Structure 1
Amino acid sequence: ANKQFRDDLYYRAYLLSSQGTVLNYYDKIHLVPFGEYVPQFLAFVNKLAHGIGDYVPGNEHTIMSGPHGRFGVAICFEVIYPDLVRQFVKQGAEYMVTITNDAWYDRSSAPYQHFSMVVFRAIENRVPFARAANTGISGFIDADGSIKRTTDLFTQTAIVDTVTVGLDRTVYTIYGDVFAYTCAGFVLGFIFLTLGLQKRRKGRPM
């Protein structure tokens, strides 16, 4: 939903009660460039296409509470950002919900690729996902990355399933990309060491 608050426009997901009362909301943190915001160094684009890309990013990984536990919400392509999902889980989310509008991609491979990103996020953090897409693919992914149930594209239907709520925290959830940075450091160190040895060998008299 789009929410006008003072002078700012947020891309917002609401949690509603069965009576329609607003219980909580989450403002999208990672906006899509040019579609939802214009980078500051290209601010002149706003003058060419006024009203396009006027959203303001959220700044809080909101944890919502429901009858089945605590969960976070990732909107659309936010599921391609590993650290964003990690922050939700690190702050107490036991499962994740992702909502998306994939109608743009019709029956291309894009909806399938977008859906596959959710599997990676589930495995990285050992949390299940419930995914709702307006034109499909909707579905449930368990904490081990197994796909429990899905819908077809452009099919009007409803699905229900049971997933295992994530309780154990993974090394990635706790430490993030430290392992990747460490590996990169070792590789760079090895490269510099190799170059240094080669330079010394070339400098020796024959």
Structure 2
Amino acid sequence: FGEFIPFRDVISSFATEVAQASKDMEAGQEAPLMTLRLRDGRDVPVAVGICFEAAYPSVIGQGVALGGQMIVTPSNNYHFRSSGESAQQGQLLRMRAMEYSRAAIQSSTTGSSYVIRPDGSVLASTNTQSVATLIADVPLRTSTTLATRAGERIPSAFMGATLLIALAGLVAALRGRASMRPAGAATRDNRQNVTHD
């Protein structure tokens, strides 16, 4: 459930892992953007989202639209240990890097850490549950992609089109059933009439 566990009392009765995450967290109201000061004194805006927010383009995209010149997702994968969850988050972050043409960094305390180029290729990475340091030069970008400019309009349009197609299919299926029923009923009535004559 990430950082929030609904129906905690019920779920904890059969999922003992629930007790390990004793506090529920809620989304903050702050913009997903922070400013880093570089060694040369420049301030650089950075789009930020916690680990699983790499799955949500709306969060990372908002940070990029507000001027983020790279993407950073800090992560703590302690509860997932050596499962594929950390690698999955890295793959999602690669998608965001390509989507917004930004270098991206996943910095994890216990999972895999990644340095990702704007084209989605991995420049450097670590294993899970290992002590390591990654040092890399990454480009800072101010250009915007179509995904940045469009925001949620593109996925919303696709979801709307999918809904319309599903509704059209349902209507066609119901009409097909309705047109088949009267023909079958008429055949049965004709048979009954023949029997009575």
User: Normalized against structure 1, the TM-score is what?
Assistant: 0.66
> 1:13 corresponds to which residue?
none
Q: Does 1:125 align with 2:95?
A: no
Give the conservation status (yes or no) of the 8 Å contact 1:143–1:165: no
Give the conservation status (yes or no) of the 8 Å contact 1:99–1:133: yes
1:184/1:112 CA distance change after superposition, 3 Å: closer
1:33/1:159 CA distance change after superposition, 3 Å: same
- What is the CA distance between 1:32 and its match in structure 2? 1.9
Q: Which has the higher strand share?
A: 1
Q: Unmatched 5+ residue regions in structure 2?
A: 14-18, 184-197
Q: Unmatched 5+ residue regions in structure 1?
A: 1-30
> Which entry has the higher C-alpha Rg, 1 or 2?
2
User: Normalized against structure 2, the TM-score is what?
Assistant: 0.68
> 1:52 corresponds to which residue?
22
1:79-101 C-alpha deviation (Å, 9 max, x unpaired): 22221101111111111111111
| 1:63 paired residue among 33, 44, 49 | 33
1:183/1:107 CA distance change after superposition, 3 Å: closer
Aligned positions of 1:5-44 closer than 5 A: 32-34=3-5, 42=7
Give the conservation status (yes or no) of the 8 Å contact 2:34–2:45: yes
The letter of the residue matching 2:62 is: Q
Q: Which has the higher helix share?
A: 2
Q: Does 1:168 align with 2:139?
A: no
Name the count of aligned residue pairs: 167
- What is the CA distance between 1:110 and its match in structure 2? 1.9
* Identical pairs, percent: 24
